[in-house]
Amino acid sequence: MRLTTKGRFAVTAMVDLAMNGGRGPVTLASISERQKISLSYLEQLFGKLRRSNLVESVRGPGGGYYLAKTATKIKIAEIVVAVDEPLDATYCAEKGDCRDGQPCLTHNLWMGLNERIYSYLDSINLQQLVEGQSKTGSGVTAISINKQTVR
């Protein structure tokens, strides 16, 4: 499993949008400046987020992006999947043909990890990250899930 900058940046940009979108559409330029993410990279990510109905856009002066639904209804897993980020720890892309057309000895282990990672990201919504950010006031967000604190 690898979570690359594509998934990380998409989640970061969505948290920024949720935190700053209460006063109208947010420009990608402002997100780019605050989060130090390339504007052209954000444009690519937000195109995918828009096609996945996670954000909507407003054109023209005063335009920008806003969440397509409330932050409590947007799961982190949705964001990661929307930008085509693979959540796969298997060698075979979950096909089960890892070794000479058959599952390798550890195929089920990696499939279980995939399920856990997806389940974890699907258990957290965007609002939880926003609230964690405002509580800590720093770049570290603490999220309490199943009596464990994850940083």
The pairs formed by 37-43 with CB atoms below 8 angstroms and a separation of 24 or more are 37/9, 37/12, 37/13, 41/9, 42/9, 42/13
pTM exceeds 0.95: no
In tens, the pLDDT along 120-140 reads 999 999 999 999 886 665 544
Query: In the chain, what are the domain boundaries?
Result: 5-140
The torsion angle over the Cα atoms of residues 116, 121, 122 and 124, rounded to 10 degrees, is 130
Q: What is the pLDDT of residues 75-98, one digit of tens each?
A: 999 999 999 777 788 878 788 887
Which architecture, in CATH terms, is 5-140?
Answer: Orthogonal Bundle (1.10)
3-state secondary structure of 128: helix
- Tens digits of per-residue pLDDT, 99-117? 888 888 999 998 999 899 9
